[in-house]
Amino acid sequence: MKRKITYAIISLTLLSACSHDEVDLHEQAASFTEISTTDLGESGAAEISAYDPQTKKLFVVTNAGIATRIDVLDFDNPAIPVVTGFIDIAPYGGGVNSVSVFEGKLAAAVEGFVKTDPGKIVIFKTTDHSVIRQVAVGALPDMVTFSYDGKFILSANEGEPSTDYLNDPLGTVSIVSVKDNYSVTTLDFSAFSSQAAQLKAKGLRLFGPNASFGQDMEPEYLTVSPDSRTAWVTLQENNAIAKIDIRSRTITNIFPLGFKDYNIPGNSIDPSDRDNAIALNNWPVKGMFQPDAIAVMDHWGKPFVFTANEGDVREYVAFTENKRIKDLVLDPVAFPNAATLKADANLGRLNVTITLGDDGNDGDFDKLFSFGARSFSVWNGNNGQLLFDSGNELEKKAIDASKYDDGRSDDKGVEPEGITLGYVGKRTIAFVGMERADLVALYDVSDPSRPTFIKALNTGDGPEGLLFIPAKLSPTGKSLLVVSSENDGTIKVYQTN
């Protein structure tokens, strides 16, 4: 079964330490070029990276074969990173999913020896890698991050069920107070159960077999506001974002994200891997945004939340939600051309959920909902309003670069999975990783409501972790982008020219 990996990125923490007048104002994001590639081994050998400017070490999550460790690289010269050792995670749990660094402390999200058991955040010294503290958190901590000020460590604890769905832990968010001797508060979503009907009407997905509201929520990825007071967490399978007040330890809002219409201009897709072509067209299908990574930008006092809309499927021994459209019965009124649509070269091969779309509960589908939105989006962090979506531009750029994988057209396309932000020169840049196209797209988001494409960088196979290191904290004095790719186990470093 697929390990759910997120991208523990310290870039936002680094960003907070770096004002516009402290960076090299002559830098241009368009000048990013690759300066090194480090091969750490087989698939799973390079998933997430975090950088410590004090020791000039790069820490890289590895879950390859039976090994579960954090590789340690000397990053004093990013053009020639040197592996110097590793931190063995086997004594602490069943796998390490995420890492984050702040002022000499390395926090690692470690799942239980049994996935459904509570996990841990293990905090190490970045100097000698000794353990500072271990704290218990919710089941399957999938992402960990320090707050900007370093006073808190937050983890998104996904709480995935067992394969037989007999054990379904609560999805939770843990807040660790560093200054209070690493005391932990773990929050769940049960208090929102009374709002279930209203939230579902707005696009929240609640569909786990026999799951309570709290069990069905599956937190994926966290971002923290620059003032360290607010966090936002993606609920990927549930197609939502939750807002958290860190100081009061309260989940204040759940924002259902609704659906993306692939039948309107600018949203066209290629839904078939059997049409012998890469052709973007409009189709009567909607996409669930289902974001994975998330980042936040404060712009004129307002939070703009960025998401990479990867999509995800619940696929277990006891419950599987996806089917191809050709295997469904389509309502003849809603789809009078059903036979044509179900051809393999049209919509027949596209995977959709069976948990939505049968409006009359009569066994035929009146609407079709596929996984992910093949895009990145910008949302109002205060109310969840959609402010921008990239439409099909990521897929167009992948096609232009001859990097589009037509074999994934029937699933989630280019699968935008990672996103992070950074100041380069005078501009704010978004970096968007596409797992199936092996690309990172760079956008100027200085006006967050109008992102503009800059360029795309080739990456290793299956980019998972995106780490931005600003010039102020970079060992070279120039901005760096570190991309870790789990399918080929490589770390690629890019630098401004």
**pLDDT (tens digit, 9 = 90+) per residue, 367-420?**
999 999 999 999 999 999 999 999 999 999 999 999 999 999 999 999 999 999
**DSSP at 281:** B
CA separation for the pair 491, 12 (Å, rounded): 20
Helices (H), 252-392: 338-341
Between strands 259-261 and 286-288, the pairing is: antiparallel
Coil, strand, or helix at residue 1? coil
CA 349, distance to chain mean position in Å, is 26
Domains, the chain: 11-495 (2.130.10.10)
What is the reported pTM?
0.95
**DSSP at 315:** B
Residue 293: burial class (beta carbons within 10 Å; 0-12, 13-18, 19+): buried
Quick check: 263 and 271 in contact, CB under 8 A?
no
Give residue-wise pLDDT tens across range 265-282: 999 999 999 999 999 999
Quick check: 96 and 108 in contact, CB under 8 A?
yes
Give residue-wise pLDDT tens across range 10-51: 343 334 333 434 557 789 999 999 999 999 987 888 889 999
According to the model, what pLDDT value does residue 316 have? 98
Give 3-state DSSP helix, strand, coil % of the chain, rounded to 5: 10, 40, 50
Quick check: 457 and 437 in contact, CB under 8 A?
no
Q: What is the mean pLDDT of the chain?
A: 94
- Locate 493 and state its tokens: 């470093």
Average pLDDT of the segment spanning 178-189:
98
Quick check: 178 and 141 in contact, CB under 8 A?
no
The yes-or-no verdict on residue 4 having pLDDT over 70 is no
- Locate 168 and state its tokens: 């379904």
Average pLDDT of the segment spanning 195-214:
97
CA separation for the pair 378, 389 (Å, rounded): 6
